[in-house]
Amino acid sequence: MIEGLSHVTFVVRDLDRMTRILTDIFGAQEVYASGDETFSVAREKFFQVGDLWIAVMEGEPLPSRTYDHVAFKIEGAEFEAYEAKVKAMGLEIRPPR
């Protein structure tokens, strides 16, 4: 029986940029960095955001844009604060539905 979600892994071109996104926007705590080692298939880092483990692995971006995504649930009262953090980093943001 599935007990829950273990972790989510994102393949990213720039580990340092993704580290800033996770720590500055989501308050993530970095719990592991492989450095130059490649125990899996590439350099990687692990973070904890609340109870969720997020892994980021260095790799090439997808050849075309997709709608693949993960949505984080936040309190409505916190929306503007998170939106400001995303905009301050120059990331694309789409209007909520």
Task: Record the tokens describing residue 71, joined without a space.
Answer: 């949505």
Q: 21-68: per-residue pLDDT in tens?
A: 999 999 999 999 998 777 778 899 999 998 899 999 999 988 898 888
Alpha helices in 5-73 (DSSP H): 15-20, 26
Model confidence at 95, pLDDT cuts 50, 70, 90, reads confident
Residue 47 in contact with residue 30, Cβ under 8 Å? Answer: yes
**Domains of the chain listed by start with CATH number:** 7-61+69-88 (3.10.180.10)
pTM value is 0.84
How far apart are alpha carbons 87 and 25 in whole angstroms? 10
Q: What is the mean pLDDT of residues 14-25?
A: 95
Catalytic residue annotation: 44
Which pLDDT value is given to residue 70? 84
